[in-house]
Amino acid sequence: MPLMPAANWRLVESGPLPLSAVSNYGGDPAIEQEYGVKALELRTYQLGKTRAQVVVEPAPDATSAYGLLTFYATPAMLPKKGIDLAYGDVNSVLMARGRSFLRFLRGKDEALTEDDYLALLVFVGGTKPAADPLTTLPLLLPAKDLTPGSEKYLLGLEAAKRALPAFRTDLIGFEQGAEVQLGQYQTAKGLSTLMAISYPTPEIARVRFGALTNLLALNQERGADTLYGRRRRSFVFLVLHAGNPETASLLMDQFRVSLGVSWDERYVTERSFTLQLIQMILAILILTVFLIAGGVVAGILFFLSRRIAAKFFPDLQWGHPDDDQLIRLNLRT
C-alpha cells in the first residue's frame, strides 16, 4: 500500500525546551546528555482541527541520533512499514533523521487516524534519511536469530549501565573512544547477549581485552555465568549467557574483520561541496590577512628597535644606519 500524501499537515507552533523536559516525553536527561543532546524543540503540527506534537532532539552527529533511537526502541515497537529508521507502538513513534532524534507523540486524540498519523511521519521525516548520514552509521548486527528491538548502540557509561545492569561496564573504556553494539540472540541454550566493542586502535583494544580477561575471567568455565570473548584487531567480541563455548563461538564467528586500504574513498561529511569550498576560501583569506598583518608588525618592530637603540644605546651600530656613518681613514705621511 503506498504511503498517504502529507500535504495537509502544517507546522503551527515551535519552541525550545530545556533538556530536563525530556523526562515528560519518555526520555532521560542523563541519557540524552551522554549522547550529546543539549536542548529540545517541541513542534506542534495541525491537520484540520487535529493536532500532534513532535519532540526534536538535535544531536552532535547522525550516529548519536541513531544511538538514541536504538536505546529507546523496545521489542514492543515495530518498524513503521515503508519508513526507514522509525519504530513505534500505539503511543508514540521514534525516528532518526540525520543529526536529529524525533519523538512523535500520538496522544489520545481519537480523531487522528492511522493514515493521518502515517502522513505526519512522512511530512516531518520523509520515508528515509539522507544518503550521506547513512554512511556514517554503524553496520547492523547479524540478523539471524536476533531478537527484534534488542539491538543497542551505546556511546557512554550511563546508557551501558541501563542496557547491561549485570556487567562491569566500567571496563569497556568509553573514555578511550569505545563504541558498543549489543543484541540478544535466541540460541539452543536460551537467550544470549552478544557485544561488539570497537576501539580507535588495535593497541587500545588489546589493553582493554587484557583487562576484561583478567578481571572478568573470560573463557574460564564457570557454568551459566561464564563470559566468552575474543579480539580481532580493534574489535572485542563478548558473549554473555551462552551456556557453552560452542554457542558463543557460533555467535562470534558471524563477524569477519579485515584490514584494507582505500585511496579513493570519499570523505564523509554532512557539509555540502559548496559549503566546504566557501570554508576553504575563507580559510585562505584569513591566512593571507594574518601573513600581511605579521609582516606589518615585524616592519614596525624593526623600525622601533633602531630608534630605541639610537636613543638609549648610541654606541651600538644597530641604531645608526650605514648612511649616517662617517668613514675615517687615518693616513700618515
Same domain for 13 and 107?
Answer: yes
Same domain for 222 and 104?
Answer: no
**Which residues span the domain enclosing 301?**
285-324
CATH of the domain at 210: 3.40.1000
pLDDT on residue 313: 76
Same domain for 247 and 295?
Answer: no
pLDDT on residue 177: 95
**Do 236 and 208 form a contact (C-beta atoms < 8 A)?**
yes
Tell me what the mean pLDDT of segment 184-204 comes to.
Answer: 93
Cα–Cα distance measured from residue 102 to residue 80, given in angstroms and rounded to the nearest whole number: 14
Which has more pLDDT, 276 or 73? 73
317: helix, coil or strand?
helix
**Do 212 and 170 form a contact (C-beta atoms < 8 A)?**
no
Q: Which of 96, 111, 133 is at the close of a domain?
A: 133
Same domain for 142 and 229?
Answer: yes
23-27, 137-141, 230-234, 328-332: segment of lowest average pLDDT: 328-332
pLDDT on residue 46: 93
Summarize pLDDT for 22-68 with one digit per residue, the tens.
Answer: 999 999 999 999 999 999 999 999 998 889 999 999 999 999 999 99
Same domain for 2 and 92?
Answer: yes
62-76, 245-259, 304-318: segment of lowest average pLDDT: 304-318
Q: How confident is the model at residue 10 (pLDDT cuts 50, 70, 90)?
A: very high
88-92, 209-213, 281-285: segment of lowest average pLDDT: 88-92
71 grid coordinates: 536505546
**Average pLDDT of the chain to the nearest whole number:** 88
Cα–Cα distance measured from residue 133 to residue 269, given in angstroms and rounded to the nearest whole number: 8
Same domain for 189 and 228?
Answer: yes
Same domain for 110 and 147?
Answer: no
204: helix, coil or strand?
helix
Same domain for 70 and 143?
Answer: no
Is 275 inside a domain boundary? Answer: no
Q: Which of 116, 133, 150 is at the close of a domain?
A: 133
| Whether the predicted pLDDT of 189 surpasses 90 | no
Same domain for 8 and 43?
Answer: yes
Same domain for 123 and 188?
Answer: no
Same domain for 122 and 158?
Answer: no
| Whether the predicted pLDDT of 1 surpasses 50 | no
Q: How confident is the model at residue 192 (pLDDT cuts 50, 70, 90)?
A: very high
Task: Please give the share of the chain, as a percent, with pLDDT higher than 90.
Answer: 65
| Whether the predicted pLDDT of 14 surpasses 60 | yes
Total domains present in the chain: 3
Tell me what the mean pLDDT of segment 134-155 comes to.
Answer: 91
pLDDT on residue 310: 77
pLDDT on residue 133: 79
Q: What is the pTM of this model?
A: 0.75
Same domain for 65 and 166?
Answer: no
Is 27 inside a domain boundary? Answer: yes
**CA dist 237 to 181, 189, 272, Å?**
10, 19, 36
Strand order through the sheet with 179-187: 152-154, 179-187, 190-198, 235-240, 228-232
Q: How confident is the model at residue 8 (pLDDT cuts 50, 70, 90)?
A: confident
Residue where the block lists cell 548486527 = 141
